[in-house]
Amino acid sequence: MEQSAETKRSNLVLALDFPFEKPENRRNLFSKAEHILETVHPYVCAVKFNRHLILPFGTFNGVQGLVRKVHDMGLMAIMDCKVNDIGATNRTIAEYYYAAGFDALTANTFVGWEGGLEPVFDVARKLQRGVILLVYMSHKGAWEGYGQPVFDAETGLKLLQYVSFAKKALKWNADGVVVGATYPEKIREVYEMLGKKIPIFSPGIGAQGGKIESALKAGAQYFIVGRAIVFSEDPAETAKKIRDFTNSCK
């Protein structure tokens, strides 16, 4: 990821997020995704696929072709599947997505380690792939789950859920964490815990109101941008402007 970011001079992750399309329009949806990839790739270091891009095409019959294109462009492919089940199911989910060519996937830290995410990390380490953990999401209601007070089982002290998740990311040696750009104060707090050991991926730029400058100053390393680029009249120009602005803030 660092090598891709250096080569592209970009810390921007393109999120291929599209709204629902009727079956008769889904061929056009695939063409849109290809077109955006072809025009935007010089300005991003990775591409994030969400489940609502997998659903209409399938993992191996459709999206795998897009993943190959991403790799041919010298980019990383991240599957935003938010793994969130029991261990046996999580293992199979990870195996399928990694087999499709994804370099990393996202997982929900709520699941816990034993009988939860341990198999995902096991598969990832064997295949030399990545696991990115959710620590604090970008939407307005994130505080209801990620911001609730909990008791630390090891210390017996009360702390906030996202703080516990950041600690688990360190303990489990995660490859990245997600903290919404809409909450720069949370980014700063998590960064103070993680330092440069684990990079922070920040979604929520643009459509959700997150600001690159404040998130960057707080410690975010990669910025996940979807709708602001995908729905733009000129996706390539928009991506270039966002990349250049990010570089100017460093």
By C-alpha distance, which of 189, 140, 139 is closest to 162? 189
Give CA 19 to chain center in angstroms.
18
Phi, psi of 107 (to 5 degrees): -140, 150
**Tally of helices (H runs) and strands (E runs) in the chain:** 12, 10
Measured CA to CA, the distance from residue 48 to residue 165 in angstroms comes to 22
HEC sequence for 134-171: EEECCCCCHHHHHCCEEECCCCCCEEEHHHHHHHHHHH
Three-class secondary structure of residue 7 per DSSP: helix
Active site residue 82: yes
User: What contacts 157, CB < 8 A, 6 or more positions away?
Assistant: 151
Dig out the tokens for 161 from the structure. Answer: 């859920």
Selecting among 82, 167, 168, 241, the annotated active-site residue is 82
Catalytic machinery residues: 82
